[in-house]
């Protein structure tokens, strides 16, 4: 696969889904799968699947389809699952705790190694086995623990200040659950998940 080729964001997302679906198929002892079968699992079109697999130069066989194990390993190679990337989470309110309890121990390659809050009642404690630091120490802890991805789950308005500190400490990727758009340099990735906006959009499209 050509390492120079830049793969679209949407494709990355779908590949990630394919891998999960394929893993389930593999554990059901399926060795080969056709594009239309994977399409049925993901609820996409088979053309979409083939186009996505083209991006990673994966070769299938018109008779048997795609080799499941092989496909999984190629997607994993692309998504870089072999390299561990440490995750930090800012805010251990309801949402932060829900994310922690879901994530901790689930993915070895994406461990949540630290949480941050400014409430002195939680700082110093462990939540779902994850140590909680003061948000004031975030820069140092990011460097110490080599954190590369930060999840923002604080309801506060000083999100931008914390974001700036993270960027200064070298963070290149954020997942933003707050209701404020984050200002970051061009090269930094931000995925916004603004639940209020999602509900409003859903309301709009509920006819």
Q: Which does 148 bind (CB under 5 to 8 A by kind): a copy of itself, DNA, none?
A: a copy of itself
Name the minimum Å distance from CB 76 to a copy of itself: 10
Q: Which does 46 bind (CB under 5 to 8 A by kind): DNA, a copy of itself, none?
A: DNA
- Is the separation of the CB atoms in 188 and 173 below 8 Å? yes
Q: Which segments of the chain does DSSP mark as H helices, in order?
A: 9-27, 35-42, 46-55, 68-79, 94-103, 138-144, 159-168, 195-205
**Residue choice 1, 16, 31, 136 for contact with a copy of itself (CB under 8 A):** 16
Quickly tell me which residue has 């409003």 as its tokens: 200
**Residue choice 61, 73, 94, 146 for contact with DNA (CB under 7 A):** 61
Distance CA 134, CA 81 (A): 30
Q: Does 47 bind DNA (CB under 7 A)?
A: yes
Q: Does 26 bind a copy of itself (CB under 8 A)?
A: no
Q: Which does 163 bind (CB under 5 to 8 A by kind): DNA, a copy of itself, none?
A: none
Q: Does 101 bind DNA (CB under 7 A)?
A: no
Burial class of residue 57 (count of CB atoms within 10 Å of its CB; 0-12, 13-18, 19+):
exposed
Q: Does 45 bind DNA (CB under 7 A)?
A: yes
Q: Which residues pair with 176 in a beta bridge?
A: 152, 192
For a copy of itself, the binding residues in 102-121 under the rule CB under 8 A are 102-103, 106-107, 109-110
Q: How many helices (H) and strands (E) does the chain have?
A: 8, 9
Integer distance in angstroms from the first to the last C-alpha of the chain?
43
Q: Which residues bind DNA (CB under 7 A)?
A: 8-11, 34-36, 44-48, 50-51, 53-54, 57-63, 65-66
């Amino acid at each position: 696969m050509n390492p120079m080729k830049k793969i679209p964001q949407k494709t990355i997302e779908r590949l990630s889904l394919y891998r999960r679906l394929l893993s389930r198929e593999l554990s059901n002892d399926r060795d080969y799968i056709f594009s239309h079968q994977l399409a049925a699992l993901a609820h996409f079109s088979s053309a979409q699947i083939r186009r996505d697999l083209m991006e990673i130069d994966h070769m299938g066989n018109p008779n048997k389809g795609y080799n499941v194990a092989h496909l999984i390993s190629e997607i994993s190679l692309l998504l870089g699952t072999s390299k561990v990337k440490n995750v930090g989470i800012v805010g251990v309110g309801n949402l932060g705790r829900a994310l922690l309890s879901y994530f901790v121990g689930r993915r070895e390659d994406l461990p949540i190694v630290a949480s941050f809050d400014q409430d002195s009642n939680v700082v110093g404690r462990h939540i779902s086995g994850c140590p909680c630091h003061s948000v004031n120490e975030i820069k140092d802890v990011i460097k110490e623990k080599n954190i590369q991805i930060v999840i923002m789950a604080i309801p506060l308005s000083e999100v931008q200040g914390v974001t700036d500190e993270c960027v200064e400490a070298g963070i290149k990727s954020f997942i933003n659950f707050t209701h404020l758009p984050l200002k970051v340099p061009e090269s930094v990735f931000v995925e916004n998940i603004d639940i209020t906006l999602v509900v409003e959009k859903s309301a709009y499209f509920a006819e």
